[in-house]
Amino acid sequence: MRNVAQRIPEEKIEEIRQALDIVDVVSEYVQLKKQGRNFVGLCPFHGEKTPSFSVSPDKQLYHCFGCGAGGNAFSFIMETEGISFIEAVEKLASQTNVSLPELETEARRKPELSDKMKHWYEGHKFAAKLYHHILTVSDEGREAREYLRKRGFTKEMIDHFQIGYAPNSWDFLSQFLKKRSFKMDEMAECGLVGLRESDGQPYDRFRDRIMFPIWDRRGNMIAFGGRVLNEGHPKYLNSPESEVFNKSENLYFFHQARPSIRKKNEAVLFEGYVDVISSWRAGIDNGIGGLGTALTENQAKMIRRNADKVILCYDSDEAGMNATYKNARILQNTGAEVVIASLPEGYDPDDYIQKHGPKRFLQDVISNYMTFTAFKFRYYRRGKNLQYEGDRLNYIEQMVNAVSQLPRAVERDYYLRQLADEFSLSLEALKQEQTEVIKSQQKKQKRQVYQAVQTKSLNVAKKMLSAHENAERELIALMLQSRSIAEQVQKEVGGEFHYDAYQAIAALIYSYYGEGYEPDPSHFIERIEDKHLRKITTELAMKKVNIDLSEQELNDYLKQLRQFPKRKEIEQLKIKQKKAEEVAEYKEAALIAMEIVKINKELKEQ
């Protein structure tokens, strides 16, 4: 895991590890729930609807039984943040009282990458401060200040979200960046300025716009959204995508809202940043927003890992209804409970707050949400004239299909009665129709389950462990938890593990205890450089083992290791015997059979 050239003292790394609880570290990224001695949640490294990601506070390890990812707090930060071991150590050290000496970090060893990223973030921070200054205290920002004041933006809101104003100038920002020695090609690369094709000179991308900084989930400022103040198109303009800004991987104000989302186990999703800011004034501190594109699966997973419930609050126009329906389905596919906060026609959240005030918005819109099924009653009506028989039957069919997918019988009955009352239909007829739909869905599900079982059975068959491999795995798992067992195994069989991976892990365990360490899987895994070995070790360390097993049980495992060469020899002799019989070499076959009997006798005597 570590680079051998790194100069962080071993005792410092151990001090950081001891000061942390892996549950606290992982909880910043994954919503965990207690399950027995461990905590479980949705794996952050692959898509899943049911939790297979386990965190052990006792062993200070995590392991996903779905994708196999595993490790300790350092490896979790490395994998989640995409950073080096040294950077992970430094990041986790900042969460403790452990101070680190000056280091030759990976950032210093790769200045061409790290310096550029640093300049990108610094450029955005500088631009945000400049824009904010222009908006709040300069004459050039007076008109923008007045506009925001009329829209109900308070000084507290402007300061909290660091809102600013970009003057109507082609070189206002670029000149300031130049004077402070920022490289224009780097600033163009991260989207802060543009470069003219004619002469390569920089120009400001944002002009005469109210500026909204955009952060990544770690709190780095990575882009801007600009709303035009006077005439101009488009009304809203985001920074272009770059290495630091990917719209499909980020959500507006997620870094600040996440603690509240986790605490409330609920997120409120808006279409954009203005709605997030306006709702914050209404006391909604768990609000997040899209960035001008449809919700992606990655964004949905980001939300789901932090909350079980999502309230969707989009505009009430056609586009808003379509976005609500589409995004609700994406969120539902992650296993989230999705409800809809409905706005009156012609309103967006900001408009509603301006007219009716924050209190009404909180009470009448956000708190007065409807289920996704209730929303479908409205959504499927669009474009239909229910006076016409064809449209009416089509609508009823859509709703029966939607209601049939609900898991609870009480919910299905509730919505069918609603449908029956609205169209004066027989409840029995609707239930009969629903039964047919459910039967059809069940047949489809059975086919899918059958195919999945067949695939899984095939995979399980491929992964079936021999008694010998199982013995080696059990011994490694026991050795990770018990020094005395490891010493006994070393004395009895030494390095006679016959699978390369287990042989390598056993050698590392012997070395670990040989250096005087006590059992500590989290500490041990930290010393393993090879990713494949680390993955296997984590999986085995998470196994439930009985370190108080009897001498007989331990000897049975050791016996499997000792007998393996002879059992392998028997397999090879049987192949030779069969070949001899096929070519009528019966004397040779008989001699081989006698050799097999002899070896089997030796095995019984061991």
- Say what the pLDDT of residue 2 is: 52
Percent of the chain whose pLDDT exceeds 90: 50
- Say what the pLDDT of residue 57 is: 93
Rounded CA-CA distance 489/487 in Å is 5
- Say what the pLDDT of residue 269 is: 97
Residues 133 and 232 in one domain: yes
Confidence of residue 280 (pLDDT cuts 50, 70, 90): very high
- Say what the pLDDT of residue 124 is: 96
Residue 67 in domain: yes
pLDDT digits (tens, 9 = 90+) for 426-443: 898 888 888 888 888 777
Residue 102 in domain: no
Number of domains composing the chain: 5
Rounded CA-CA distance 29/92 in Å is 14
| 50 pLDDT more than 90 | no
CB of 165 closer than 8 Å to CB of 146: no
- Say what the pLDDT of residue 1 is: 55
Which CATH number is 170's domain given?
Answer: 3.90.980.10
Residues 543 and 590 in one domain: yes
- Say what the pLDDT of residue 457 is: 46
The residue range of the domain holding 152 is: 115-238
How many residues are listed for the chain in this entry?
606
Residues 212 and 176 in one domain: yes
Confidence of residue 9 (pLDDT cuts 50, 70, 90): confident
Least confident of 100-109, 131-140, 146-155, 482-491: 100-109
Residue 462 in domain: no
Last residue of a domain, one of 432, 456, 480: 456
- Say what the pLDDT of residue 197 is: 87
Which CATH number is 377's domain given?
Answer: 3.40.1360.10
Residues 500 and 586 in one domain: yes
Least confident of 172-176, 207-211, 328-332, 462-466: 462-466
Residues 122 and 182 in one domain: yes
pLDDT digits (tens, 9 = 90+) for 446-500: 676 556 555 544 444 444 567 788 888 999 999 999 999 999 999 988 888 888 8
Residue 245 in domain: no
Residue 28 in domain: yes
Residue 108 in domain: no
Q: What is the mean pLDDT of the chain?
A: 87
Residue 2 in domain: no
- Say what the pLDDT of residue 79 is: 86
Rounded CA-CA distance 133/591 in Å is 95
Mean pLDDT over 532-539 rounds to 92
Q: With 0.75 as the threshold, say if the pTM is over it.
A: no
Residue 191 in domain: yes
Confidence of residue 4 (pLDDT cuts 50, 70, 90): very low
- Say what the pLDDT of residue 465 is: 61
DSSP letters, 462-524, are HHPPPHHHHHHHHHHHHHHH-HHHHHHHHHHTTT--SSHHHHHHHHHHHHHHHTTPPP-HHHH
- Say what the pLDDT of residue 593 is: 77
Classify each residue of 552-587 as buried b or exposed e, where b means 16 or more C-beta atoms within 10 Å of its C-beta: eebeebbebbebbeeeeebeeeeeebeebeeeeeee
CB of 211 closer than 8 Å to CB of 235: no
Residues 512 and 552 in one domain: yes
Higher pLDDT, 130 or 570: 130
- Say what the pLDDT of residue 128 is: 97
Last residue of a domain, one of 362, 381, 400: 381
- Say what the pLDDT of residue 464 is: 52
